Structure 1
Amino acid sequence: MDEDFGLAVKSFDDRGGDGVWTLPVDLRNPVPHSSFVLPGRSYVTPAKARRHTTDTLIGWGVPGGCIERVLLIVSELVTNSIQHSTSTYIMLEFRLLTNSVVISVTDQGSSLGLPIQPEMPETTDISGRGLVLVDNISARWGTERVKDTTMTVWASVVLVDTSDRN
């Protein structure tokens, strides 16, 4: 079988508009993948997510600087899921591609719909910077409604180790 395969992902970022782009996937050599189910309404969930993320990415040999960026994204997406959904559980997933890590956080959704494009909050606001951070440190990110209310927010981080840079 010589056909190229891909994982189609719907994109809603400001770098290329909305549309569908394809992550390269060779089904003959499956990509490393990890899924982890977390409690949706628990204050310990972000810490559990970070611990699982660290263990998984170290096990895959991901560079330290990349792990730091992925941890920040995981913290933001999991915290957003807890704050903005009524989920009893959250699914955290990773895929290790040739030159990137794709993170996705899926929850049971809310009545608020998909997140809008991130906007910088006022300097006096105590929250609202999460998606701005995700937008700035990821290569791409987006949202996808799965079924009626289930929502996935995903981000892709390029595998570049920035831990030794000054």
Structure 2
Amino acid sequence: MSPATAVAPATTTAPPQTSRIFDVAFIPSPACVRQARRITRAFLGLWNVNGELAENIVLAVSELVTNAFEHGTGDVGLRVRYPNNELQIEVTDDNPTPAELRPSGAEDVSGRGLILVAVLARKWGVSEDGRTTWCVFRVPARRS
């Protein structure tokens, strides 16, 4: 039995050319990070977001879902929205303590996830209630 539970099926909320979205929720487990990467990569392919940009987006999803699994409480929610030329990732859990950048030492084996997200994404932040960490990537317009 897979620990992933779809909250809502992947749905298009507007014509496919202008807006794309998917939501999924995971039972917190080590497998949820791998599943989040796989699902995100599949949707990016459907949306023709490929190459280095797609890999950076998948890495950001991996880091945010890992943080929610390791430091959050309750189910881990992932929403990816792609209206026009921006793609927004939102990862939610029930822990009201907001994610924050923290310095990590050379010997630390973890603690660099948000630093990676901050470097790769155009912008990132945390919701007012502390439960959602998000980031935004710019997706260049495709030339015909």
TM-score in same-fold range (> 0.5): yes
Q: Which residue of 2 aligns with 1:38?
A: 26
Could you tell me which of 85, 102, 108 is aligned with 2:88? Answer: 102
Could you tell me which of 114, 117, 123 is aligned with 2:98? Answer: 114
Per the normalisation by structure 2, the TM-score is: 0.80
Matches within 5 A, 1:116-155: 116=100, 118-146=101-129, 151-155=131-135
Query: Does residue 137 of structure 2 align to residue 157 of structure 1?
Result: yes
Per the normalisation by structure 1, the TM-score is: 0.70
Q: Greater share of strand residues, 1 or 2? A: 1
Q: In the TM superposition, what is the alpha-carbon distance from 1:109 to its structure 2 partner?
A: 1.2
Q: Cα RMSD between the aligned structures?
A: 2.1
Structure 1 residues 58 and 138: alpha-carbon distance in aligned structure 2, compared to 1, 3 A threshold: same
Q: In the TM superposition, what is the alpha-carbon distance from 1:57 to its structure 2 partner?
A: 1.0
Q: Gaps spanning 5+ residues in structure 1: where?
A: 1-26, 161-166
Q: In the TM superposition, what is the alpha-carbon distance from 1:36 to its structure 2 partner?
A: 0.9
Matches within 5 A, 1:44-55: 44-55=31-42
**Number of residue pairs matched?**
127
Please tell me whether the aligned partners of residues 140 and 155 of structure 1 are also in contact (alpha carbons under 8 angstroms): yes
Instruction: Please list every run of at least 4 consecutive aligned residues from structure 1 whose deviation after the TM superposition is greater than 4 angstroms.
Output: 27-30
**How far apart are the structure 1 equivalents of 2:71 and 2:103?**
18
For residues 100-126 of structure 1, the C-alpha deviation after alignment (integer angstroms, 9 at most, x for no partner) is: 21111011115xx1123x244110111
2:89 is matched by which residue type in structure 1?
A: I
Secondary structure at the aligned position of 1:66 is classed as helix
Secondary structure at the aligned position of 1:72 is classed as helix
Q: Which residue of 1 aligns with 2:63?
A: 76
Q: In the TM superposition, what is the alpha-carbon distance from 1:28 to its structure 2 partner?
A: 7.2
Q: Gaps spanning 5+ residues in structure 2: where?
A: 1-12
Percent identity among equivalent residues?
31
Secondary structure at the aligned position of 1:105 is classed as strand
Q: Greater Rg, structure 1 or structure 2? A: 1
